[in-house]
């Protein structure tokens, strides 16, 4: 049977990008332990609305842990206390009755706050736009089975491609670095035979765009711990190696023009 609990929330409220922002204390009562964390916030918001206040703004959508829209630092941890779990998949049975819970937005210079717990993650899109693709115009593709891809390679590419682009890695990083996100995208494409033609151009463009917005990686490893998809920090090594190689390869290209 499900249990009912009471919690005290310390929630970051900020009315817009230029507002200073502050913590507000909100009571969460009548919470069932079967609820998801976001359903708990729904209940709190419903009560705030009925009491004439303005509900807490937070990003969310699929509530299945795949779209990457939800965020939230919960007691200082990106996506809360459970490993490999996005906020929307976190359930209240992971909390104690009477517990005080602090809820903050993602904290990173590259992710400016829009309102309350919602941030702007479009810097991620800039990185992908710089090179996170394989140039393959619609209509010109050869038969799908023409290039056999060894299963371990396809599986490794898939491991990297599972990234949901939520930004927890950046929020968890003491430097606000986006190396896990960027390296996952690069590795997904750089591992595949189809991605070879643009391999070095891709890594160079993406890494340099990343550096325009985000901090530098100093191998803390917090990103891997926070990642709801458990994306491996090994991809960062692969990215660094490819980036170093690109610097030589592309210099050679440069000398030929």
Partner 1 sequence: MVLESKIPEGPVSEKWESYKFNRKLVNPANRRRYNVIVVGTGLAGGAAAATLGELGYNVSAFTFHDTPRRAHSIAAQGGINAAKNYRGDGDSVYRLFYDTIKGGDFRSREANVYRLAEESVNIVDQCVAQGVPFAREYGGMLDNRSFGGAQVSRTFYARGQTGQQLLLGAYQQLARQIGLGNVTLYNRCEFVDVVVVDGEAKGIVTRDLVTGEIRSHAAHAVVLATGGYSNVFFLSTNAMACNVSAAWRAHRRGAYFANPCFTQIHPTCIPQSDEFQSKLTLMSESLRNDGRIWVPNDPDDTRSPDRIPDAERDFYLERLYPSFGNLAPRDVSSRAAKRACDAGKGVGPLKNGVYLDFSDAIRRLGAPVIQERYGNLFEMYQRITDEDPYKVPMRIYPAVHYTMGGLWVDYELMTTIPGLYAAGEANFSDHGANRLGASALMQGLADGYFVLPNTISNYLAPKLGEKLVGTDHPAFQAAEAEARARFDGYLAAKGTRSVDWFHRELGKIVWDYCGMERTQQGLEKALSEIPALYEEFRTDVRVPGSGATLNQSLERCGRVDDFFQLAQAMCLDALMREESCGGHFRAEHQYDDGEAKRNDDAFAHVTAWEWSGDARTPVEHREPLVFENIKLAVRSYK
Binding residues among 93-152 for partner 1 as defined by CB under 8 A: 93, 114-115, 118, 120-122, 124-125, 128-130, 132-145, 147-151
CB nearer to partner 1: pick between 6 and 248:
6
Beta-sheet pairing, 100-104 with 4-13: parallel
From the list 162, 180, 203, the residue with the least C-alpha distance to 78 is: 180
**In angstroms, rounded to a whole number, what is the distance separating the alpha carbons of residues 242 and 226?**
25
Least spacing, CB of residue 72 vs partner 1, in Å: 15
Select from 8, 10, 21, 55 the one that contacts partner 1 (CB under 8 A): 55
Select from 8, 13, 21, 67 the one that contacts partner 1 (CB under 8 A): 67
Under 8 Å between Cβ of 132 and 195: no
* Under rule CB under 8 A, residue 66 binds partner 1: yes
Q: Crossing angle for the helix pair 199-213 and 179-191, nearest 10 degrees? A: 170
* Under rule CB under 8 A, residue 46 binds partner 1: yes
H or E element, residue 169? helix 168-172
Applying the rule CB under 8 A, the residues between 19 and 38 that interact with partner 1 are: 32, 34-36, 38
First to last CA, the chain: 72
Select from 26, 104, 180, 188 the one that contacts partner 1 (CB under 8 A): 188
Under 8 Å between Cβ of 213 and 110: yes
CB nearer to partner 1: pick between 45 and 219:
45
Applying the rule CB under 8 A, the residues between 206 and 235 that interact with partner 1 are: none
């Amino acid at each position: 049977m499900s249990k009912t609990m009471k919690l005290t929330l310390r929630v970051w409220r900020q009315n817009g990008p230029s507002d200073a922002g502050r913590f507000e204390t909100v009571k969460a009562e009548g919470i069932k332990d079967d609820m998801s964390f976001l359903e708990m916030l729904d209940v709190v918001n419903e009560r705030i609305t009925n009491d004439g206040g303005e509900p807490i703004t937070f990003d969310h959508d699929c509530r299945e842990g795949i779209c990457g829209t939800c965020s939230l630092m919960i007691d200082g941890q990106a996506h809360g206390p459970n490993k490999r779990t996005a906020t929307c998949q976190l359930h209240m049975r992971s909390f104690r009755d009477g517990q005080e819970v602090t809820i903050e937005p993602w904290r990173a210079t590259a992710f400016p706050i829009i309102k309350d717990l919602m941030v702007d993650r479009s810097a991620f899109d800039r990185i992908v736009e710089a090179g996170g693709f394989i140039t393959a115009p619609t209509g010109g593709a050869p038969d799908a089975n023409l290039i056999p891809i060894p299963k371990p390679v396809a599986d490794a590419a898939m491991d990297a491609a599972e990234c949901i682009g939520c930004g927890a890695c950046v929020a968890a990083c003491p430097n606000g670095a986006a190396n896990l996100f960027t390296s996952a995208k690069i590795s997904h494409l750089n591992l595949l035979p189809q991605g070879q033609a643009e391999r070095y151009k891709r890594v160079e463009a993406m890494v340099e765009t990343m550096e325009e917005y985000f901090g530098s990686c100093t191998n803390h490893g917090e990103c891997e711990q926070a990642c709801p998809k458990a994306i491996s920090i090994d991809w960062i090594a692969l990215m660094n190696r490819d980036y170093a190689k690109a610097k030589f390869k592309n210099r050679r290209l440069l000398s030929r023009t």
